[in-house]
Amino acid sequence: MMPGIDTRTGKMASGKELFSGRPRCNQALSGENLRQYRGQKVSKGRVTIRRNDDQYQSGDMVWCQNAKHRVKGVQNKGAYIKLDGLSKPVRMDPLAPLRWRRGTCLVEWNMDVRTVLNI
């Protein structure tokens, strides 16, 4: 949580100290709601783009269903991958990497992919 000013004391307090009293949405209020005492933020928030370092990133090339596809994104913490040209996301199991954005290549573009992957 981002540190902020406690309006009761005027001192800096963490967001955990000034929380609503509900640890989860489906639980009843366990104490006083302290969010009303949250004042001005002391520091700016940060933006986190990726939770995990997934195997594939947007723009990578993979081999799936006997065709090359471009990765559009990763879903469900990396369990599914959305591919360009397919309407539904596919599981990671049937995919074979062709080109990663990180620079490593499994297969050269001029080689026949089916012979390399034994398809």
Q: Which residue type occupies 56? A: Y
- 13 CB-contact burial (10 Å; exposed 0-12 / middle 13-18 / buried 19+): buried
Average pLDDT over residues 70-99: 86
- 39 CB-contact burial (10 Å; exposed 0-12 / middle 13-18 / buried 19+): middle
Q: What is the pLDDT of residues 35-46, one digit of tens each?
A: 888 888 888 777
Q: What tokens were used for 69?
A: 């596809």
| Residue whose C-alpha is closest to residue 50's, from 78, 90, 84, 92 | 78
- Tell me: pLDDT of 63 over 80: yes
| pTM for the whole structure | 0.45
For CATH 2.30.30, the residue range(s) in the chain are 51-102
The CATH architecture one would assign to domain 51-102 is Roll (2.30)
Higher pLDDT, 33 or 102: 33
The b-or-e profile of 49-83 (16+ CB within 10 A means b, else e) is: eeeeebebeeebbbbbeeeebebbebeeeeeebbb
**Whole-number pLDDT of residue 110:** 46
